[in-house]
């Protein structure tokens, strides 16, 4: 693929490198924060550990999850405009998956607020199973972007 065709010009490989970097931070955050929730679940509401987990989770969401998600989107959309990817099948599939991942992050944020309020709405086991979703989405997204099956 010719690096200098779209509006990014010679910056294209740098933007792609930055995209992949922030995607790694984003997915790392999506793996770690719900893992924190599993530990948080086991703490009695109002206890010192409960407050410590709330603080850890809020910090991880603010410092890792939100900025990494926004930068992944910004850089990814720049690449899509550069390549003219909006009429390509693999990109439609990828877009659906990243929208789902962004929705999952919305749920992660909302669930963290409920835990902070002393609620434990889900079973620990359900939480563990939900933790597999970003792994599944990552596998499918990487296949879309590398293999481009359609």
Residue 40 vs 82, nearer CB to ligand HEM = 82
Shortest Cβ distance from residue 150 to ligand HEM (Å)?
Answer: 15
Assess contact for 25 and 101: CB atoms under 8 A: no
Nearest to 36, CA basis, from 14, 58, 9, 15: 58
30 touches ligand HEM (CB under 6 A) = no
Q: How far apart are CA 108 and CA 85, in angstroms?
A: 29
Radius of gyration of the chain (CA): 18
Question: How many beta carbons lie within 10 A of that of residue 8, not counting itself?
Answer: 19
State the binding string over 51-90 for ligand HEM (x if CB under 6 A, else -).
Answer: ---------------------xx--xx-xx--x-x-----
Shortest Cβ distance from residue 27 to ligand HEM (Å)?
Answer: 5
Shortest Cβ distance from residue 49 to ligand HEM (Å)?
Answer: 32
Where are any strands of DSSP class E within 6-128? none
Tokens of 42: 């086991």
Residue 22 vs 37, nearer CB to ligand HEM = 22
20 touches ligand HEM (CB under 6 A) = yes
Shortest Cβ distance from residue 80 to ligand HEM (Å)?
Answer: 4
Among residue numbers 121 through 150, which ones bind ligand HEM (CB under 6 A)?
Answer: 138, 141-142, 145-146
Alpha helices in the chain (DSSP H): 12-41, 48-60, 66-83, 89-116, 124-130, 133-146
Which residues bind to ligand HEM, rule: CB under 6 A?
16, 19-20, 23, 27, 72-73, 76-77, 79-80, 83, 85, 98, 101, 138, 141-142, 145-146
């Amino acid at each position: 693929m010719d690096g200098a065709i779209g509006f990014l010009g010679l910056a294209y490989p740098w933007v792609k490198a930055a995209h992949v970097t922030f995607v790694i931070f984003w997915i790392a955050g999506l793996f770690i924060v719900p893992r924190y929730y599993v530990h948080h679940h086991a703490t009695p509401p109002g206890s010192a550990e409960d407050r410590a987990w709330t603080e850890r989770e809020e910090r991880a969401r603010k410092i890792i999850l939100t900025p990494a998600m926004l930068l992944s989107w910004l850089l990814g959309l720049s690449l899509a405009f550069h390549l003219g990817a909006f009429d390509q099948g693999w990109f439609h599939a990828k877009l659906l998956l990243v929208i789902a991942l962004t929705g999952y992050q919305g749920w992660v944020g909302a669930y963290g607020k409920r835990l902070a309020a002393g609620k434990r709405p889900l079973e620990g086991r359900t939480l563990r199973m939900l933790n597999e979703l970003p792994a599944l989405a990552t596998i499918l997204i990487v296949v879309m972007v590398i293999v481009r099956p359609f």
